[in-house]
């Protein structure tokens, strides 16, 4: 495949804006890593009119895709985990061109995984975990067991990703394989949910109890990034938190996180007068500081 694709990637590599070219080849008959194409070419560029540009090719009965992405888009995917296979591509793909050791340095960065980045990623996963847990519990209480099952599976997945990140690793597509070795307790919960002979109602009931404990035990590390921001001043209104640049990725789940933290006594609520009688704005402040890691 590499030889067949050489004219395509050599032309891209010759451009001064190209930082790296990698090839990811299909490893199995069914390949989610390459969208079932025989190969995927990844071209990372310094600047691009479109942050993501994709072309599909067919030749001699083979198929290939070309993915041209800006370095800014790549960094965002890595930071937010919104394209999970990109980690697999970077770590397991074959390097065809590497200007100034861009890929070498990127892999070193991935392996180092600074705590500030881990804290942000854990916070994002924690928000998704809380939302899925609350949704699942609401479905369960309403008797919608299959929807509750779906939500708790997603919640456990976010919990698994938190465990992996907390250990200093980037979650891979096969995150449960990572968790099995890193955090057997969470892996056991997942196994019990999908393999237990108990009724679905009983499985969910037990799992919500166990998950509740685990979510609470992760509250401080899950909230560390947000509480670091809140430590900048005494009292915040919610709109102020939404506008803070360090919380720009939390917009969708910030409300549910803040409310959860008030319930767990990590964040306090202060009434702020409005023009309306007996109607107050809610001001939020830190009640309990979070120990920092380094």
pLDDT by residue (tens digit) across 58-116? 988 889 999 999 999 999 999 888 888 899 899 989 999 999 999 999 999 888 888 88
Domains of the chain: 2-112 (3.30.460.10), 115-221 (1.20.120.330), 230-286 (1.10.10.10)
* pLDDT at 279 (0 to 100): 86
**170: phi then psi, degrees, rounded to nearest 5:** -85, 135
What's the distance, CA 36 to chain centroid? 24
What is the tens place of the pLDDT at every residue in 162-178? 999 999 988 877 889 99
**Predicted confidence band of residue 7 (pLDDT cuts 50, 70, 90):** confident
**Distances in Å between the alpha carbon of 279 and those of 58, 204, 274, 282?**
65, 39, 6, 10
Handedness of CA 122, 128, 131, 137 (dihedral sign): negative
pLDDT of residue 256 exceeding 60, the answer is yes
How sure is the predictor about 294, in pLDDT bands with cuts at 50, 70 and 90? very low
Handedness of CA 41, 90, 123, 245 (dihedral sign): negative
What CA–CA distance (Å, rounded) separates 154 from 51?
28
What is the average pLDDT across 270-275? 87
Does residue 293 carry a pLDDT above 70? no
Please state, in angstroms and rounded to a whole number, the distance separating the CA atoms of residues 277 and 155: 40
| Mean pLDDT along residues 261-265 | 90
**What is the bridge-based pairing of β-strands 39-45 and 62-70?**
parallel
How large is the greatest C-alpha to C-alpha distance in the chain, in angstroms?
76
The burial of 244, by beta-carbon neighbours within 10 Å (0-12 exposed, 13-18 middle, 19 or more buried), is given as middle
pLDDT bin (cut points 50, 70, 90) of residue 220 is confident
| Residue 123: φ, ψ to 5° | -60, -40
Mean pLDDT over each residue of the chain, to the nearest integer:
90
> Cα–Cα distance between 84 and 91 in angstroms, integer?
12
CA geometry: angle at 98 spanning 38 and 116, to 5°? 95
């Amino acid at each position: 495949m590499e030889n067949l694709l050489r004219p395509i990637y050599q032309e891209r590599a010759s451009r001064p804006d190209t930082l790296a070219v990698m090839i990811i080849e299909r490893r199995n008959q069914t390949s989610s890593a390459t969208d079932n194409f025989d190969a995927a070419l990844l071209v990372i560029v310094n600047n691009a009119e479109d942050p993501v540009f994709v072309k599909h090719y067919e030749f001699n009965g083979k198929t290939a895709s070309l993915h041209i992405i800006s370095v800014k888009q790549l960094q965002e995917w890595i930071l937010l985990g919104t394209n999970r296979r990109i980690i697999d591509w970077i770590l397991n793909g074959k390097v065809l061109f590497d200007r100034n050791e861009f890929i070498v340095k990127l892999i070193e960065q991935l392996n180092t995984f600074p705590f500030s980045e881990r804290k942000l990623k854990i916070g994002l996963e924690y928000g998704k975990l809380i939302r899925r847990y609350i949704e699942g519990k609401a479905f369960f209480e309403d008797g919608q067991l299959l929807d509750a099952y779906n939500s708790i599976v997603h919640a456990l997945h976010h919990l698994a990703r938190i465990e992996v990140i907390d250990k200093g690793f980037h979650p891979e597509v096969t995150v449960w394989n990572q968790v099995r070795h890193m955090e057997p307790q969470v892996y056991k919960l997942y196994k019990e949910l999908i393999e237990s002979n108990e009724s679905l109602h009983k499985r969910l009931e037990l799992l919500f109890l166990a998950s509740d404990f685990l979510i609470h035990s992760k509250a401080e590390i899950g909230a560390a990034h947000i509480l670091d921001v809140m430590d900048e001043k005494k009292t915040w209104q919610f709109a102020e938190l939404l506008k803070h640049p360090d919380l720009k990725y939390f917009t969708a789940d910030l409300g549910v996180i803040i409310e959860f933290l008030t319930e767990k006594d990590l964040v306090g609520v202060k009434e702020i007068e409005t023009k309306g009688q007996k109607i107050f704005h809610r001001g939020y402040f830190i009640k309990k500081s979070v120990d920092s890691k380094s």
